[in-house]
Amino acid sequence: MHSVDPTPVLIKRLPGNEDLPLPAYATEGAAGMDVVAAEDVDLAPGARHAVATGLAVAIPAGYEIQVRPRSGLAFKYGVTVANAPGTIDSDYRGELKVILINLGAEAFEVRRGDRVAQLVLAPVTRGSWLEVEELDVTARGEGGFGSTGGLAALRG
């Protein structure tokens, strides 16, 4: 059981999509709500498409919705969210779309009503820049892009 009361998010079904379910949690412990396609799309290998959901949302200020891949689609078919995680900002009012990409070797059919992604409502922390002449020194320093070790280091 969740210990925090849900945060309400205004949602609007766009015309012609009254038959589709609203995004919903599949299990009590799920972090993301499954969202379904509002259109049929055939994704060739390597192709991408902004799949319509037939929904628009008004996210509360101080929050975003992250659009994340469904693990089953990624593992079984190589279909994922191209900009994972995608971000829907609180001031966006257009149709929610999911940018799917087929990284698999076979064509993939998306059919209206298929679950295509997960939506995670998340708080946003806004930053501000404080320009300085020097940064503090750390053990890592300027090392990046695998400088702390790769898979071989983990296999020990």
CB 41 within 8 A of CB 25: no
> What's this model's pTM, rounded to 2 decimal places?
0.87
Fold classification of 10-125 (topology level): Deoxyuridine 5'-Triphosphate Nucleotidohydrolase; Chain A (2.70.40)
Which among 49, 55, 36, 30 has a CA at the least distance from the CA of 121?
30
CB 99 within 8 A of CB 83: yes
Domain ranges of the chain: 10-125
pLDDT tens, per residue, the chain with 156 residues: 555 789 999 999 999 999 999 999 999 999 999 999 999 999 999 999 999 999 999 999 999 999 999 999 999 999 999 999 999 999 999 999 999 999 999 999 999 999 999 999 999 999 999 999 999 999 888 877 777 776 665 665
DSSP per position, 117-134: EEEEEEE---------S-
